[in-house]
Chains A and B, each alone.
Chain A
Amino acid sequence: MARSTRDGLTMQDSLIPSFQRPPSRVAIRHAADYNEDLAAILYETLREFDPPIRGKTVLLKPNLVGLDPLGVMNTHPAVIAAAREIFLRMGASEVFIGDGPAMDRDTEAILESVRLLEYTGPLRRTFVDFNVDDVKRVPLRTRASRLKELYLPKSVLGADFLVSMPKLKTHHWAGVTLSLKNMFGIVPGSCYGWPKNVLHWAGIDRSILDINAVARPDFAIVDGIMGMEGNGPIQGEPKASKVLVVGDDPVAVDATCCRVMGLVPERVNYLARAGTLLGHVNPEKIQQLGESIDRVRTPFAVLEEFSRLREN
């Protein structure tokens, strides 16, 4: 069980050479907009995966970046609420939602802005602000970056089943921001600031690897119904792919998302490296469920710096 990887003591479960790792599964589901019955779509999909969550604590980690009245920047609350409902329906004992927004310390304002309350009901004992959670020292044994350790939220380290729920977006420094990059949000602002600048100094690509080595998501649900292209993750343009991408390997999910975006995942620095130890990038090792990539491919515009990521 992945839980043992998050207490900072062992990482054997998260770091497995790709040749030893069993094939991963990724499902692509079409959803025209947020008014669709997302709970039904997710229920049908998660039943195929049958995640080991009965009686467990599930932590959903959406991407809540900032004030977003247009619903382009943050994971949409309809997707978060649907996921919460389905994990509870499938037997999870508790389902929490948590994030540590990177640019604005007024998390309450961001929650109001995304109207999370309207979708999930009262946030009573539901939302964890990772920015101000109690923390625990976690040594970074991968040492991909210069960081020797991070102080991470106890809520994340103590969760039985961690679900990364990013938005499908380009990123002006990392190329793309998906389920692996989304884990930057577990790094607490109260220790590292708003933004978490120490990660930038340590190297974004490498920090992504370090963080995911100690807190590798057990599952990923990507909100690609409406994403962002160009100068993401904040100042880009809306881009609708009308998909949810779901899977039990965050690397495989991110690689699939890149292919949906018309980008080559092997050319995304951190994904290429993640493909050696954290999951599969190689399409031959990814069992595709649901829609085919070709059917939903929606090429995303990228900044000039990342033109090399394009398929053609």
Chain B
Amino acid sequence: METIDAANTVNLSSHHTGEAMESSFAENFYLPFLQSAQNADGGWGFYPGSLSRVEPTCWALIALAEFQSGEEVGERLSRGFQFLRASQLPVGSWPAAPEQEAGCWVSSLACWALVSNKESTDAVAAGLRWLCEDWPKDSSPLRRMLKKFSSMREFAQHNDSYRGWGWTPRTSSWVEPTSFALIALSQCPRELLPRSAARRRQLARSMLFDRMCPGGGWNCGNPRTYGVDGESLVIPTSWALIALREEQDRPEIAASLAWLKKNLSGIQGSSSLAVARLCLEIFGEQHLITDQKLKDAFSKNEFLRNTVATSWHCLVYSKSQRWRAQPVMV
């Protein structure tokens, strides 16, 4: 049974010696954790010692790639890329767990993680094709027509002509998988994108704007349920903003950034803290979440020894910030 070991804390007092230490913080703490957590098959589990899965492997690779230096990291990246390529299903998608026969939302992350690896170009192209052919079922033309004739009270009033991506194929559009797909598409070189990519991006962006909560920000994708306003959450808000960063002049972006800033003091989880800081820095808001606050979160419980949370914190401290701009082929 993999449990959270919150008592296994780290004394950081000797490292609180000023700003000069900040840049090396991730290299001293997060990177060694990620490196040691890599499994023999090249992948990562959600916790050290757990079975390799696509999602934590993607986040670990995206984070490690930001700190690429030296043979050891290069070799780890190479084994991680290999794990991802081996995990790809014949249709081009990736499954969330070993043995699963259907791909899902993690396919976006896999494309994003592999795009910087020359040997994975074919895998990425196949993944993008699958992604662009994977339409949510809730907004299909047939569903929309049936809905018009339905007498059932509407649970939520979405504009179903906008379509993003679901967590699993042939279900409904949700904010986070749509955001990850948009980020993946923005990271990939144009020559790898299917023809339908531009249309999918346009529909998905519209879907995200349509699903924004009334006061700014996003939750999973239900801004109003049975007429009651939904409450925004930090992680979906941050990823949606990152996915929509090219549209920063829109009022929805300003409202959502304002929501995020207003709610910073209440953030209690280390994952939320890291993604919120990443997001704010992308929008030019530096250090609204201090290094000390991130360190305190680490000191408290080592991010519950979770690979994804550690990777997100790693990204906060990345020097190259390559993933925030155009991909670089290595």
Contacts and interface: CB of A to CB of B under 8 A. Distances in A.
Interface of A: 57, 66-67, 96, 103-110, 112-113, 117, 122-129, 132-135, 137, 151, 154-155, 158, 172-173, 190-198, 200-201, 231, 235, 303-305
B217 interface: no
A58 B4 CA distance: 16
A228 to B, nearest CB: 13
A123 B6 contact: yes
Nearest to A172: B226
A173 B172 CA distance: 16
A71 to B, nearest CB: 15
B47 A132 contact: yes
Given A105-B235, A109-B268, A193-B105, A231 B226 contact: yes
Given A191-B97, A201-B171, A124 B220 contact: no
B7 A122 contact: yes
Contacts of A67: 233, 268
Contacts of B269: 106-110, 112
A244 B322 CA distance: 54
Given A128-B2, A190-B46, A194-B220, A109 B272 contact: yes
B225 interface: yes
Given A112-B268, A191-B96, A193-B174, A158 B1 contact: yes
B5 A124 contact: yes
B304 A108 contact: yes
Nearest to B4: A127
B176 interface: yes
Given A105-B235, A124-B6, A125-B3, A303 B308 contact: no
B226 A103 contact: no
Contacts of B4: 123-129
B85 interface: no
A196 B172 CA distance: 11
Contacts of A200: 171-172
22 contacts: A103-B220, A103-B233, A104-B233, A109-B271, A112-B268, A124-B4, A132-B308, A134-B45, A151-B99, A154-B1, A155-B1, A172-B225, A191-B96, A191-B97, A192-B96, A196-B167, A197-B167, A198-B168, A201-B170, A231-B225, A231-B228, A235-B226
Contacts of B270: 108
Contact of A194 (B1, B167, B234): B167
Given A103-B219, A198-B167, A193 B225 contact: no
Main secondary structure of the interface of A (DSSP, over half): mixed
Contact of B267 (A57, A109, A195): A109
Given A104-B233, A109-B269, A197-B167, 4 more contacts: A108-B270, A137-B100, A192-B167, A197-B174
Nearest to B227: A231
Interface in B24-67: 45-47, 50-51, 53, 55-56
B168 A193 contact: yes
Nearest to A158: B1
A96 B233 CA distance: 28
Contacts of A127: 3-4, 6
A231 B153 CA distance: 14
Q: Which of A106, A127, A231, A235 has the most CB of B within 10 A?
A: A106
B306 interface: yes
Contacts of A112: 268-269
B137 interface: yes
A259 B202 CA distance: 50
B177 interface: yes
A128 B166 contact: no
B301 interface: yes
Interface string B255-290: 000000000000111111000000000000000000
Nearest to B100: A151
B97 A195 contact: no
Given A125-B3, A190-B53, A106 B168 contact: no
Contacts of A194: 167, 174, 176, 220
Given A105-B271, A192-B168, A198-B171, A155 B2 contact: yes
Given A105-B271, A197-B166, A190 B55 contact: yes
B8 interface: yes
A58 B53 CA distance: 27
A193 B167 contact: yes
Interchain residue pairs A-B with the least CB separation, the first 9: A193-B167, A109-B269, A106-B269, A124-B7, A132-B46, A112-B268, A108-B269, A191-B96, A123-B6
Interface string B217-237: 001100001101010011100
A158 B3 CA distance: 13
Nearest to A159: B1
B3 A117 contact: no
B137 to A, nearest CB: 7
